[in-house]
Amino acid sequence: MVNKKKTTIKDIASALNISPAAVSKALHNDSRISTKTKEAVKKVAKELNYQPNHLASALRRGKSNLVGVIVPRTNSHFFSSVIQNIEEVLNKEGYNIIITQSNESYTKECNSIDTLLFTQVDGIIASMANETIDLEYYEKVKSKGVPLILFDRGENDLNVDYIGINDYDSSHMIVEHLIEQGCKRIAHIGGYRRTRIFNNRIRGYVDAIKKHNLPLDESLLVESSLTIEDGREKMLQLLALKNRPDAVYVAGDYAALGALQVLKENNIDIPNDIALIGFGNEPFTAMVTPSISSINQHSAEIGKQAAWTFLERVKNPKIKQTLNKIILDAELIIRDSSHVNNKPF
């Protein structure tokens, strides 16, 4: 097998019988190098398939124009929309992004942070994995002076910029909507309490139930990873109760889809027997039958705000800036799955 050696600046210099320094200056369009030499360097570089070493350049300049983006998964409309808007804003300012996904794994998230720091990224924008409890690796980012912006999922203990929605109020809004529809036994398939946003959603649910003097039944409050499979499993668990719920609020749309599948397989009338609401406003929520009510998390705005916050940090590094804690108001999109027509009030 032929071992193809990577072309270096020295190879180009040797081919043209000029110094490596002159090649480097020509590749960077230095005004001290003649147009003729620049064209010759570019021609040989192309012929030899020269690829610049961006990491070495970043080490020399102390700036890579790269921003790392860590998300739990990319196959979610919410996260893909956030990424798209981060990229659009940063590209206009000369930055490119490196996307990594944790797949909800703490270990994979830590490896991603190490890789991004080794690549000399100018900043990291992240949404934490479900498994993440130990914040050591995020503290490492801070200790190196690399701007860190968290979105959607983040921990107050890190004391960094954060962009998200009001998860507590969102839950309150959902429960009150269901109560307005005549529902009295409302279940919640939530995320894990250890994750701040899911803890806030659980608190919002509990407080709304208490506010309206409904009994708080712990059997109606279950935690999960919020996958489709979790939604199916937890919905079956709720249906097996002697006194089953008349509404289910799910803290993620994929789990809500799994719950919907189970309800339909069991010929349960949605929403008249059991109403259903998800969270995230994934595109499929408007396409399934019945369509699923859900919370719009304003993913585009979150992505833009995260990118703008990073740019503020790097444009004024010597100015001590107040931390950005941007909390957006959520919007409840009411669809067929929770709009009850014939329940007694």
Closest Cα to residue 191, out of 232, 225, 151? 225
The reply to whether omega before 271 is within 30° of 0 (cis) is: yes
| pLDDT number for residue 345 | 41
**CATH code, 241:** 3.40.50.2300
**Which H helix or E strand runs over 250?**
strand 247-250
pLDDT at 2 over 70: no
CB 328 within 8 A of CB 78: no
Cα–Cα distances in Å, from 222 out to 7, 190, 192, 219? 58, 6, 9, 7
Closest Cα to residue 326, out of 311, 306, 307, 310? 306
Are 209 and 278 members of one domain?
yes
pLDDT at 132 over 90: no
Are 255 and 133 members of one domain?
no
- 10-30 average pLDDT score: 85
Are 47 and 88 members of one domain?
no
pLDDT at 3 over 60: no
Least confidently predicted of 61-75, 217-231, 284-298:
61-75
Look up residue 219 and give its DSSP letter.
G
Entry field: residues in the chain: 345
| pLDDT number for residue 284 | 96
Tokens, residue 319? 């100015």
Residue 128 C-alpha from the chain's centroid? 8
Residue 284 C-alpha from the chain's centroid? 18
Query: In this structure, is residue 282 part of a structural domain?
Result: yes
| pLDDT number for residue 47 | 87
- 312-333 average pLDDT score: 83
Global pTM value: 0.81
| pLDDT number for residue 6 | 79
| pLDDT number for residue 207 | 96
- 136-143 average pLDDT score: 92
pLDDT at 195 over 90: no
CB 146 within 8 A of CB 123: yes
pLDDT at 72 over 90: yes
Cα–Cα distances in Å, from 282 out to 255, 279, 328? 11, 8, 18
| pLDDT number for residue 344 | 46
pLDDT at 167 over 50: yes
Are 175 and 261 members of one domain?
yes
Query: In this structure, is residue 189 part of a structural domain?
Result: yes
Return all residues near 267 (Cβ < 8 A) that are at least 6 apart. Answer: none
Query: In this structure, is residue 340 part of a structural domain?
Result: no
198-223 pLDDT tens trace:
999 999 999 999 999 998 999 999 99
In the chain, what percentage of residues exceed pLDDT 90?
67
> Which position has the higher pLDDT, 197 or 3?
197
CB 140 within 8 A of CB 129: no
**Which H helix or E strand runs over 150?**
strand 148-151
Are 236 and 133 members of one domain?
no
**What mean pLDDT value characterizes the chain?**
90
Are 161 and 172 members of one domain?
no
Are 176 and 291 members of one domain?
yes
- Interhelix angle 167-180/196-211, nearest 10 degrees: 40
| pLDDT number for residue 111 | 96
Query: In this structure, is residue 341 part of a structural domain?
Result: no
Residue 238 C-alpha from the chain's centroid? 29
221-232 pLDDT tens trace:
999 999 999 999
- 236-265 average pLDDT score: 97
Confidence of residue 176 (pLDDT cuts 50, 70, 90): very high
Return all residues near 317 (Cβ < 8 A) that are at least 6 apart. Answer: none
| pLDDT number for residue 51 | 80
Are 160 and 143 members of one domain?
yes
Cα–Cα distances in Å, from 158 out to 65, 67, 101, 192? 25, 19, 21, 19
Q: Residue type for 198, please?
A: F
Query: In this structure, is residue 345 part of a structural domain?
Result: no
Confidence of residue 318 (pLDDT cuts 50, 70, 90): low
The residue range of the domain holding 268 is 167-297
Antiparallel, parallel or unpaired: β 325-328 and 161-165? parallel
Residue 88 C-alpha from the chain's centroid? 16
Tokens, residue 191? 């995320």
Are 187 and 247 members of one domain?
yes
Other Cβ atoms less than 10 A from the Cβ of 275: the count is 26
264-283 pLDDT tens trace:
999 999 999 999 999 999 99
Return all residues near 345 (Cβ < 8 A) that are at least 6 apart. Answer: 182
Are 159 and 307 members of one domain?
yes
What one-character-per-residue DSSP string does 111-136 give?
HHHHHHHHTT-SEEEE---TT----H
Return d(Cα 32, Cα 26) in angstroms, integer. Answer: 9
Total domains present in the chain: 3
Query: In this structure, is residue 240 part of a structural domain?
Result: yes
- 126-148 average pLDDT score: 91
Are 293 and 202 members of one domain?
yes
Are 105 and 23 members of one domain?
no
| pLDDT number for residue 319 | 64
Return d(Cα 209, Cα 183) in angstroms, integer. Answer: 11
Return all residues near 297 (Cβ < 8 A) that are at least 6 apart. Answer: 78, 152, 165, 279, 280, 281, 330
pLDDT at 1 over 50: no
